[in-house]
Structure 1
Amino acid sequence: MSAPSPAQADTPRSTGFLLLFALANAGGVIGYLPLLSILLPARIDAIAGDARLDLFTITVIAGAAAASLSNIAFGWLSDRSGGRRRWVAFGLALTAAAYAAVALATTPVAIVLAIVAFQIAINALLAPFLAIMADEIPDSQKGVAGGLLAFAAPVASAFSAMLVLSPFTDTTRLLLIPAAAALCVLPMLRTKPRLLAIQTVEKTLSPPRELAIAWGSRLLIQISGAVLSLYSFYYFQSLGTRPDLAARVAQVLTIAYVLALPIAVLSGRVSDRIGRRKPFLLAAAFTAALGLTGMAATRDFGMAALCFGLFQIGSAVFLALHSAFATQLLPNPQHRGRDLGLLNLTNTLPSLLGPLLAWTLATPQDFGAVMLVLAALAICGGLVILFIRED
C-alpha cells in the first residue's frame, strides 16, 4: 500500500473518495447488521425455543463486551503501527473466518463463543476504518461525509431482506455476508492515504471535557438504537405472530433506512455550510424520541412501522452528524484510533445496557415500557449535547 502523503486541513477530498469511503462503511455494516438483526435472532429461536430471549441476551452481552475491548485494542494498534488500511484488510479476513464459526454453531455455548469471535473480528475491521475519517477528511467535509455514512444502513438492510427472501440455506446466507462486505470495502483500500497536516489540526484541538460530553450524549441515543437493532424482530413479533415476519421486518428496516439517507446527507451538507452541528443534533434526538413514544403506544403493525421509520430518521441524522462532530473534538491527532475506540464504547456499551433494559422491562408480548424509557433517554441525549461549546 502507498505511503501516506500530507495535506492541508482545508484541502477537500474528492467526491469519488467520499463515495468510496461511504461504500466501505456500508461494507462494514453489511458485515454485522444482517447477522445481528435478522439471522442471529432466527438462529437462536431455532436453538433455544421459548428460552430465546435469555440466550439472545447472554449472547449479545458477551459479544458486546468483546467488541468494547477489541475496538479499543485495534484502534490503538493502528495508531502505533500506522497503515490503517492494512489493519482493515486484516479485520476483513478475520471476519470471514468468524462467519464460518457462526455457521457451524448449533448449541447455546457454541453460538455464544462464535459471536464473541465474530465481534473481535468485525471490530478489527471497524476500528482502524473509522479513524481514516479523522485522519484524511477535513472538517469542512465531515458533515457530508457523516451524512453519507447513513448510506450503509439501507444497503445493509436491503442485503438482509435479499438474504431472507432468497432460497439459500442459513449456512449459505452466512457465508455470503463476508463476501459482500469484502466487495464494498476493497475499493477504498486501494486508494492512497492522504493525511491531514497535524500542525494544522493542532490549532483547533478541543479539551477532553468536550469529547466526554459528546460521548455521554451519543451513549444515551445509542441505547435505544441498540435495543431496536437487536430486538426489532421481537418487538414486531410482540404485535402479533405472522408467518412471513422475518421478511416483513427486513422490509420495514430497509424502507426506514432508505428514507433516513437523504435527510442525513442533506443535514450534513447544511451543517457544513453554516458551521453548526448542535441544532441539527437536538432536533434529531427529539425526532427519535417521538418515534419511540409512538412505538410504545401502538399495537398496529403498520403504525409501528411508521413510528420506527420516524425513530430511524432521527437516529440516523443524529449519529451521522455526531460522527462528524466527534472527530472534530478528538484531543490528540496521535491517538485518534485509540480515542475513537473509546468513543466506540457508545456503540458497544449500549449492546450491554440495552439488552439488560429490554430483559428487565420487556416481555415477548409487550415492549411498551422499554420504548418509553428509551424515548426519555433520547431526549436526554439531545439536551446533553447543548453543553458542548461550538466555535
Structure 2
Amino acid sequence: MSRPAAPEALTEPTERAGRGWTAALALANGAIWVGWYGPLQILLALQAAELAPPGTAKESVLAWVTGAGAVVSMVANPLFGALSDRTASRFGRRTPWILAGVPGGAGALVLLAGAGTVVGMALGWCLVQLTLNAAFAAITAAVPDRVPRGRRGAVGGWLGAAQILGVVAGTGLATVAGGVVAGYLACAAFTVLGALPYALLHRDPALPAGRRPALRLRALLAGFRISPRRHPDLAWAWLTRFLINLGNALALLYLLYYLRDVLHRPDPDGGVLVLTAVNAVTLLGTVVIGGFWSDRIGRRQPFVLWAGVIMTVATGLLAGWQTWPGALCAAALLGVGFGVFTSVDFALMTQVLPAAADRGKDLGVINIANALPQVAAPVLAAPIVQHLGGYRVLYGVAAGIGLLGALLVRRIRGVA
C-alpha cells in the first residue's frame, strides 16, 4: 500500500508565490515594525525621561524597560511559532495568529500610551512584545511554507524593505504625531491597517486536523532544545545573527541620547528621524538587490560576511568621528550593510531549518537572535556609557562584536 501524500503545509514548496501574496506579507511585516520601532526609536525614550524617578538616570529606565520587553519577545516568538505549527484551521497555520496578534498589539500600544509609572510602562511594553511577536512568528514562518529555496533571497529582500520602511514610518509617526500619547495611537492604527490585506485576502497552506500534532506541554518545551551537535549549521547561523544584531543594537540603543548629549543637536528627535531616513534610503538601495543577487548566483555566505564588515566600519565611525557629518555617514553605511544582511541572512536561515513540520518553532528559536541582543545591549551599554568610557568605547565594542559575527558565518558548511 502506498503512503499518502504529505499535506501541502508540510512539504517543500516548489511553485513561486505570487506578487500579490509577497506584497501583502511585506506590508503586514512592515506594519508590525511600525508598532515596535515608533516606541523604540522615540516614544519609549521620551516616556523614560518623563517617568524616571528623581535620582534615577533616564538611560537606566529605558534599559530596564526595553530589556524586559526583549525577554518577553525572546520567549514569545518561538512559543507562538510552535503553536502556529500545530494550528489546524481552514485559514491555515499562520493567519489565525496574525488575526489575533495584530489587534492585540494595537490595544497594548494604546495601554502603553496611558502608562503613568515606570512599572506601568514596562508592563505595557511587555504586552506589546507578547502580542506582536505572535503575529511576527506567523509572518516569518509563512515564507518557507510558500516560497521555494531559490527565491527566498528576493522575498527576504522585500520583507527587509518593508521592515526598514516600517522603522521609518514608526519613527516619523512618533515624531510628528504631536506628543507621546498621539504617537502611540498613530502607531497602533497603522499596525492594524497594514496587516489587514494579508490577514483578510490570503490563506496559508492548511494542516489537516488528522495530521495535527498533539499539544502536550512537555513535548512542546522539549522541542525548543535544538542540539548544536546534531545541527551545527543552525548553531553557527544563529550565533552569526546574534552577534551582528548585538553590534547593531548597541549602536542604535542610545542614539537619541547620543545626539542630545554628545553631538548637542538642538533637535535630537528630528536628528533621529533624519538619520533613520538616510539609513532607510541606502538600505532600500541594497536589501532587494542583495537578495536577488544572492538567489541568482546561489550563494549566501559572502553577502553576509561583507555586510557585517560594512556595518563594523559604520559603527567604528560613530566611535572615531563624533560629529553630525560622521553620524550621517555612519547611518548611510549601516543601511548598505544591514540591507544586504537582512535579506540574505533570512534566506540562509530558512535553508538550515531541520524539519518542515517545525518551521514556525525553529524560526522562532532563530529569532531569539534578534530579541536577545535587545536584552544584552542595555546590560552592556548602560555601564559602558555611565562608567567605562562613554559613547566612544560603546561604539568601539559594538564594532568588534559585529565583526566577530561576520567572520563566524564561514563556519557554516551546508550553505555556500
Q: Same fold (TM over 0.5)?
A: yes
Tell whether 2:68 aligns with 1:62.
yes
The alpha-carbon deviation at position 255 of structure 1 amounts to 1.9
Q: Which of 40, 52, 56 is the equivalent residue of 2:58?
A: 52
Unpaired segments of 5 or more residues in structure 1?
Answer: 197-205
* Farther-moved stretch of structure 1 (45-54 vs 288-297): 45-54
CA RMSD of aligned residues (A): 2.2
Tell whether 2:27 aligns with 1:23.
yes
Aligned CA distance change for structure 1 residues 9 and 46 (closer, same or farther; 3 Å) = same
The alpha-carbon deviation at position 161 of structure 1 amounts to 4.4
Q: How does 1:186-335 map to 2 (within 5 A)?
A: 186-189=196-199, 190-194=201-205, 208-335=231-358
| Counterpart in the other structure of 2:211 | none
Structure 2 counterpart of 1:378, one-letter code: G
Q: Which of 369, 373, 377 is the equivalent residue of 2:397?
A: 373
Aligned CA distance change for structure 1 residues 69 and 154 (closer, same or farther; 3 Å) = closer
**1:52-74 alpha-carbon deviations (Å, 9 max, x no partner):** 01111111111111111111211
| Counterpart in the other structure of 1:13 | 17
Q: What secondary structure, in the 3-state scheme, does the structure 2 residue paired with 1:362 have?
A: helix
| Counterpart in the other structure of 1:106 | 116
Tell whether 2:410 aligns with 1:386.
yes
Aligned CA distance change for structure 1 residues 376 and 163 (closer, same or farther; 3 Å) = same
Preserved contact between residue 106 and residue 192 of structure 2 (Cα < 8 Å) = no
| Counterpart-to-counterpart distance in 2, 1:207 and 1:24 | 34
Q: What secondary structure, in the 3-state scheme, does the structure 1 residue paired with 2:254 have?
A: helix
Q: What secondary structure, in the 3-state scheme, does the structure 1 residue paired with 2:130 have?
A: helix
The alpha-carbon deviation at position 373 of structure 1 amounts to 1.2
| Counterpart-to-counterpart distance in 1, 2:247 and 2:180 | 28
| Counterpart-to-counterpart distance in 2, 1:80 and 1:22 | 24
Higher helix share: 1
Preserved contact between residue 161 and residue 254 of structure 1 (Cα < 8 Å) = no
**1:64-107 alpha-carbon deviations (Å, 9 max, x no partner):** 11111111211111111142101111001210121122011111
TM-score w.r.t. the length of structure 2 is 0.86
Structure 2 counterpart of 1:238, one-letter code: D
Aligned CA distance change for structure 1 residues 222 and 162 (closer, same or farther; 3 Å) = closer
| Counterpart-to-counterpart distance in 2, 1:79 and 1:6 | 10
Q: Which of 342, 362, 372 is the equivalent residue of 1:339?
A: 362
Preserved contact between residue 290 and residue 339 of structure 2 (Cα < 8 Å) = no
Q: How does 1:105-124 map to 2 (within 5 A)?
A: 105-124=115-134
Preserved contact between residue 218 and residue 319 of structure 1 (Cα < 8 Å) = no
Structure 1 counterpart of 2:49, one-letter code: D
| Counterpart in the other structure of 2:212 | none
| Counterpart-to-counterpart distance in 2, 1:320 and 1:310 | 16
The alpha-carbon deviation at position 311 of structure 1 amounts to 1.9
Q: Which of 122, 130, 134 is the equivalent residue of 2:140?
A: 130
| Counterpart in the other structure of 2:376 | 353
| Counterpart-to-counterpart distance in 2, 1:160 and 1:271 | 29
Structure 2 counterpart of 1:183, one-letter code: L
Structure 1 counterpart of 2:344, one-letter code: L
The alpha-carbon deviation at position 328 of structure 1 amounts to 1.3
The alpha-carbon deviation at position 309 of structure 1 amounts to 2.0
Preserved contact between residue 139 and residue 328 of structure 1 (Cα < 8 Å) = yes
| Counterpart-to-counterpart distance in 2, 1:170 and 1:4 | 45
**Percent of matched pairs sharing the same residue:** 29
Preserved contact between residue 38 and residue 170 of structure 2 (Cα < 8 Å) = yes
| Counterpart-to-counterpart distance in 1, 2:177 and 2:301 | 46
Q: What secondary structure, in the 3-state scheme, does the structure 1 residue paired with 2:253 have?
A: helix
| Counterpart-to-counterpart distance in 2, 1:304 and 1:173 | 25
* Farther-moved stretch of structure 1 (3-12 vs 321-330): 3-12
The alpha-carbon deviation at position 8 of structure 1 amounts to 6.5
* Farther-moved stretch of structure 1 (155-164 vs 305-314): 155-164
The alpha-carbon deviation at position 137 of structure 1 amounts to 1.1
Unpaired segments of 5 or more residues in structure 2?
Answer: 1-6, 208-228
Q: Which of 117, 135, 149 is the equivalent residue of 1:139?
A: 149
Number of residue pairs the alignment of both structures matches: 380
| Counterpart-to-counterpart distance in 2, 1:376 and 1:19 | 36
| Counterpart-to-counterpart distance in 2, 1:132 and 1:76 | 13
Aligned CA distance change for structure 1 residues 373 and 315 (closer, same or farther; 3 Å) = same
**1:153-194 alpha-carbon deviations (Å, 9 max, x no partner):** 442243234324535332122111121112221111221324
Structure 1 counterpart of 2:121, one-letter code: I
Aligned CA distance change for structure 1 residues 6 and 158 (closer, same or farther; 3 Å) = same
Aligned CA distance change for structure 1 residues 207 and 185 (closer, same or farther; 3 Å) = farther
Q: What secondary structure, in the 3-state scheme, does the structure 1 residue paired with 2:265 have?
A: coil
Preserved contact between residue 106 and residue 191 of structure 2 (Cα < 8 Å) = no
Structure 2 counterpart of 1:226, one-letter code: A
TM-score w.r.t. the length of structure 1 is 0.91
Aligned CA distance change for structure 1 residues 161 and 127 (closer, same or farther; 3 Å) = closer
